[in-house]
Amino acid sequence: MENILRLAHQGIYCPAGDFYVDPWGAVEKAVITHAHADHARVGHKKYYAHPDCIPILHHRLGDIDSEPKAYGEEFQLGDARVSLHSAGHILGSAQVRIAVGDQVTVVTGDFKRTPDPTCAPFELVTCDTLITEATFSLPVYRWPNPKSVAEDIFTWWMNCRERRLNAVLCCYALGKAQRVMAELMRFTDESVVLHGAVLPITQIYRSQGVQMLEGRPVEEGENYAGQLVIAPPSAIGSPWIKRFGRHEAGFCSGWMRIRGNRRRRGYERGFVLSDHADWNELVNTIRESGAQKVMPTHGRTDSLVRYLREQDIDAEALETVFGESEE
C-alpha cells in the first residue's frame, strides 16, 4: 500500500498514476470497480470501467466522461500499468490490478466466487499487496448453493400462490434482483412484477445479453394475487406495497444467514443469497493471491486482520467509507 496506493482525503490514491480507485470525493481520474452507489460516485472528470459497467454508470450518474476497459486489457496511467479483472460481483464488476515497477497491488472491490449467471466468473489475480473487501468476514458466513436457494425462492412463491398471496421479494435493485430473475429461469418462464427502481437496471442487463425472466412494471388498477414481486428493501412499509394486499415478504441477502437479522427486520423468509465473498472465499482468495500484505476494508476488518496475522500473513485494516451493509 505504501508504495503503490495510499489513503487520501478523496479515497484510495495511486501517486504513480495520479488516479483513484472508487473515490468518495470528486477527482480527476477514477477507476471504478462497479456501479453500486458507494463505489461509483458523481463528480469525477474521467471514469475508467468495464464496458458492461458503463451503461449502468450512465443510468445512475447521468452524463459522465467514461472510458471502457475490457478485462485483462492493460492500460498506462502515468507510471502505473493498470488492468481490470472480473470480480464476479455484478455485471461489469472488476478487480483493479495496478503494477508499478515490479510491485503489484490488487484492489478486489466487491467480489464473490459463487457462480452467478448474470456476470463473468471471478478471476484470481496474484499480487504482492491485496486490498480486499471483508463485508462478511466471520466464519459464521458460508453461502449455501445458489441453485438450492433459487429453488427455495420458487417453492415459496408457489406456496404463496396456493394461498392466493403475493410473494414480495426484497433484493438490492442492482445485481441481486437480476441474479434472482436469471436463477429462476430453471424453474419457470412466468414473468415477475418489478418495482420502478428495479425495472430500468433490468433493461440494461437484458440489452447486454443477460437471460432472465420477463419483468413487467406495476400497472395501476391491476389486481395482483399469487405473483412474485421484486422490490428494493426500502419498499417494505411504504404505501407502494399496499397495492399487493395480503402478501409475505422475503429478503435476499447474505445477512439473512443470521436468524436474528431476519426476525428483527420482520421478514417471513430470509434467503441467503449474497454477491459478496463468504468467509471461506475470503480466506482462500487471500491465500491463493500469494499477497504478502493484505488490507481488508469495509466490514468486520478487525476479526479478519487478527485471524490473518495469526496465520502469519501481514494484515492491516484500511478504513474506507464503503458500505457497511449495502446488501
Partner 1 sequence: MKSFVELYTRLDRTNSTNAKLSAMREYFRKAEPACAAWAVNILSGRRQKRLLGPAQLREWLAESVGLPDWLVEQSYAHVGDLAETAALLHHTVKAASQDGSQYASVEVGLSAWMERLLLLRNLEEGEKRQWIQAQWQQSPLAEGFVKTKLLTGALRVGVSQTLVVKALAQEYDLPTAVIQRRLMGDWQPTAANYLDLIGPDDGRHDVSQPYPFCLAYPLEKDPATLGGAELWLAEWKWDGIRAQLIKRQGNIFLWSRGEELVMHSFPEIVQAAEALPDGVVIDGEILGWTFASDADAQQEMDEVCGKPLPFNQLQRRLGRKKVGPKLLGEVPVILQAYDQLESDGISMCGRPLLERRSGLQKTLSYAVSPHLRLSPALQGSWEYLAGLRHSSRERGVEGFMLKRLDSVYQAGRVKGDWWKWKVDPYTVDAVLLYAQAGHGRRSNLYTDYTFAVWEGEQLVPFAKAYSGLADSEIVELDRWIRKHTKERFGPVRSVEPVQVFELAFEGIALSKRHKSGVAVRFPRIQRWRKDKLVEQADSLTLVKSLVADNAL
Minimum distance between the CB of residue 250 and partner 1, rounded to whole angstroms?
Answer: 10
Minimum distance between the CB of residue 258 and partner 1, rounded to whole angstroms?
Answer: 6
Eight-class DSSP state of 71 = B
Minimum distance between the CB of residue 31 and partner 1, rounded to whole angstroms?
Answer: 29
Give the burial class of 221: count Cβ atoms within 10 A of its Cβ; 0-12 exposed, 13-18 middle, 19 or more buried.
exposed
Using an 8 Å Cβ cutoff, are 167 and 229 in contact? Answer: yes
Using an 8 Å Cβ cutoff, are 46 and 29 in contact? Answer: yes
CB-nearer residue toward partner 1: 113 or 179: 113
Q: Which helix (H) or strand (E) holds 149?
A: helix 146-162
CB-nearer residue toward partner 1: 292 or 311: 311
* Sheet hosting strand 19-21, strand order edge to edge: 6-8, 11-14, 19-21, 29-31, 46-49, 66-68
Minimum distance between the CB of residue 220 and partner 1, rounded to whole angstroms?
Answer: 29
DSSP string, 178-246: HHHHHHGGGT----EEE-TTTHHHHHHHHHTT-----EEEPPTT----S-EEEE-GGGTTSGGGGGG-S
To which residue does cell 491485496 refer? 130
CB-nearer residue toward partner 1: 191 or 280: 280
CB-nearer residue toward partner 1: 293 or 300: 300
Question: What value, to the nearest 5°, has the Cα angle with vertex 74 and ends 286 and 37?
Answer: 65
Cα 45 to chain centroid distance, Å, stands at: 24
Residues that bind partner 1 (CB under 8 A): 138-142, 144-145, 257-261, 263-264, 266, 268-269, 278-280, 300, 303, 306-307, 310
Minimum distance between the CB of residue 26 and partner 1, rounded to whole angstroms?
Answer: 25
* Sheet hosting strand 269-271, strand order edge to edge: 215-217, 192-194, 228-231, 166-170, 247-252, 269-271
Minimum distance between the CB of residue 320 and partner 1, rounded to whole angstroms?
Answer: 15
Q: Which helix (H) or strand (E) holds 48?
A: strand 46-49
CB-nearer residue toward partner 1: 47 or 271: 271
Using an 8 Å Cβ cutoff, are 56 and 49 in contact? Answer: no
* 306 CB neighbour count, 10 Å cutoff: 12
Cα 298 to chain centroid distance, Å, stands at: 13
CB-nearer residue toward partner 1: 44 or 262: 262
Minimum distance between the CB of residue 108 and partner 1, rounded to whole angstroms?
Answer: 20
CB-nearer residue toward partner 1: 130 or 256: 256
CB-nearer residue toward partner 1: 6 or 309: 309
Minimum distance between the CB of residue 249 and partner 1, rounded to whole angstroms?
Answer: 10
